[in-house]
Amino acid sequence: MKKSIKLIVFSVLLLFFVFNVSFAQDKAKQIEELIGKYNQYGQFNGAALVAENGKVILKKGFGSANMEWNIPNQTDTKFRLGSISKQFTAFLIVKLAEEGKIKLDVPITTYLPDYPKATGDKITIHHLLTHTSGIPNYTSLPNFFKDQSRNPYTPEEFVKTFSNLPLEFTPGEKFNYSNSGYFLLGYIIEKVSGKSYEQYLQETILDPLKMVNSGYDHGEVILKNRAAGYEKRGKKIRNAPYLDMSIPYAAGSLYSTVEDLYLWDQALYTNKLLSSKSMESLFTPYIKAGKGSYGYGWFIEEADGATGKVKVIEHGGGINGFNTIIYRIPGDKNLIVLLNNTGGTVLNEISQSIRAILYNQSFKAPKMSLAFELLDAFSDQGVTSGLNTYNKLKNDPVYAIAEGEMNRVGYELLQNGKTKEAIEVFRINAETYPKSGNAYDSLGEAYLKDGNKKLAIANYQKSIELDPKNEDGKKALEGLLKK
């Protein structure tokens, strides 16, 4: 009798195991097909890894790591991470704090005595970590990409390019994403540790976790399996412009693979490198940021899970030729990593669809980008052709208008001197997304460049009405009303 009971229990367990494996395989197939469709539509070219309950159910490369040599992306292809680097920088700072080598609530001049005291005495390390310092974001400064991005700097030299700028607001007052703050954190790490940022990162995180395919990217170094970076202009692809990697530094200069980022994700569930209290400090929502909050190097928000809301901890990255995201649901140990080497694309949308598959929910099917079609039409043949293309395709269910893509297309046209064409793209975007302050802000900027003061004012006013926090729009409007 006992043997029969044991046999029944074993059979039930075996059936449960087979069912779970089959279910995971079914999800993996759905996810692979989903990403494959985005790849087919020119909206994803890179590597992906998805883990459920801590177990990898999909890892695969899509498209090309090098298009000139037709070399495919693999799961060990190395991609520049962009701002995913910030979570590593934040981790190093918290590590130093745990060891008693720095304090997070003291002025940054404590560790950077040469930093201007007028502003530095008001800013704490906590402010830098949470993007609440008020220091202007250097990548948003006029002519940054033209005048600075290609030139090598030491950390000390580059800090001087923004340290004397006036603060945009009182430190701690609000969230405003700033690469400058994380650049300073890297410089502080060097001052406190007595080692280069790269060396301290290697010894503190990468070596202990055996992340052998990750590191600080140096453009001149021969790096096996490094993906080339590309950018899309409509449906056309070209090599990404050069960026000296001393510039993004602790805010965005790391490279990694989907496999190494899985090791990183798994380590964050342990106390191998940090105490539980210190680890918790990374994921505490300190300040409202967009639809969610910001911790130390991570965005924190809620999303739909199997039986209710789940906590999502994530961060994206964008750097010349690359677009990345790491999307964690720690309550269920689910992970989505997407590393793309064709510039900006819809990684948030893809991540949300993958999350829906993991929780057996419905999701929107991928669609082709109408913005890409419009860029080609407006660029090559002018306003009339662009509008004809829009009217022809706007109701076609195969195509979709994504706000961010339309905004990028509008600015591409604006930068190329095609102001009338840009106005039409921004106008379509504002009509499609009538509650978006950013869409009207961009339209106002285009009208301003075209010399139409009346319509520039009207659209800036609409933008501020929809988004009262639009400080740049307020400054532009103030300038227009003074004239």
Mind listing the pLDDT tens digit for each residue in 83-115? 999 999 999 999 999 999 999 999 999 999 999
Looking at residue 18, its pLDDT comes to 42
Residue 101, token pair as written in the block: 């080598």
Residues 216 and 334 in one domain: yes
**So what's the pLDDT on residue 101?**
98
Contact 307, 72 (CB under 8 A): no
Cβ neighbours of residue 80 closer than 8 Å, sequence gap 6 or more? 217, 227, 229, 252, 253, 254, 255, 319, 321, 322, 324
CB of 285 closer than 8 Å to CB of 296: no
CA gap 167, 145 in Å, rounded? 21
The reply to whether 297 and 339 lie within a common domain is: yes
Asked whether residue 377 falls in the same domain as residue 353, the answer is no
Q: Which of 112, 108, 138, 101 shows the shortest CA–CA distance to 125?
A: 108
Helix (H, G, I), strand (E, B) or coil at 292: strand
State residue 255 phi and psi, 5-degree precision.
Answer: -125, 155
DSSP string, 350-404: HHHHHHHHHTT---PPP-EEHHHHHHHHHHHH-HHHHHHHHHHHTT-TTEE--HH
pLDDT at 66: 98
Tell which residue, 114, 183, 194, has the closest CA to residue 153: 183
- Say what the pTM is: 0.88
CATH number for the domain harbouring residue 342: 3.40.710.10
- Report pLDDT for 19: 46
pLDDT (0 to 100) of residue 310: 95
Which residue segment(s) compose the domain that 89 sits in?
A: 82-358
- Give the total number of structural domains in the chain: 2
Rounded Cα–Cα distance for residues 429 and 408 (Å):
11
User: Of 332, 358, 384, at which residue does a domain stop?
Assistant: 358
pLDDT at position 4 is 58
Q: What pLDDT was estimated at residue 6?
A: 56
The answer to whether 374 and 386 are in contact (CB under 8 A) is: yes
- Residue 377: C-alpha distances to residues 390, 394, 453 (Å): 9, 14, 27
The pLDDT, as a whole number, for residue 375 is 93
**C-beta separation of 452 from 421 below 8 A:** no
Looking at the fold, whether 236 and 341 belong to one and the same domain comes out as yes
- pLDDT, residue 8, reads 55
Q: Are 404 and 317 contained in the same domain?
A: no
Q: What per-residue confidence (pLDDT) applies to 328?
A: 98
Tokens matching residue 116: 């201007």
Nearest to 179 by CA among 149, 145, 140, 217: 140
The pLDDT of residue 469 is 82
Residue with token string 């001197």: 417
- In the predicted model, residues of the chain with pLDDT beneath 70 are 1-24, 483
Tally of CA atoms within 13 A in the half-sphere of 158 that contains its CB: 30
The domain boundary, picked from 335, 358, 381, lies at 358
Query: Based on the domain organization, do 254 and 396 belong to the same domain?
Result: no
Q: Does one domain contain both 335 and 416?
A: no
- Of 209, 174, 200, 199, nearest to 93 by C-alpha is 200
Between the alpha carbon of residue 286 and those of residues 136, 197, 272, 301, 329, the distances in Å are 20, 25, 24, 12, 19
pLDDT at 146: 86
Does any domain span residue 58? no
The answer to the question of residue 29 being in a domain is: no
Q: Are residue 353 and residue 412 in the same domain, yes or no? A: no
Is residue 463 within 8 A of residue 444, CB to CB? The reply is yes
Task: State the pLDDT at residue 23.
Answer: 60
Q: Is 327 exposed, middle or buried (0-12, 13-18, 19+ CB in 10 A)?
A: buried
Q: Are residues 208 and 315 in the same domain?
A: yes
106 has which bridge partners? none
Give the pair of three-digit tokens for residue 119.
């502003």
**pLDDT at residue number 236:** 87
Helices (H) and strands (E) in the chain, counts: 19, 17
Which residues sit opposite 399 in a β-bridge?
Answer: 368
Beta strands in 178-247 (DSSP E): 215-216, 230-233, 236-239
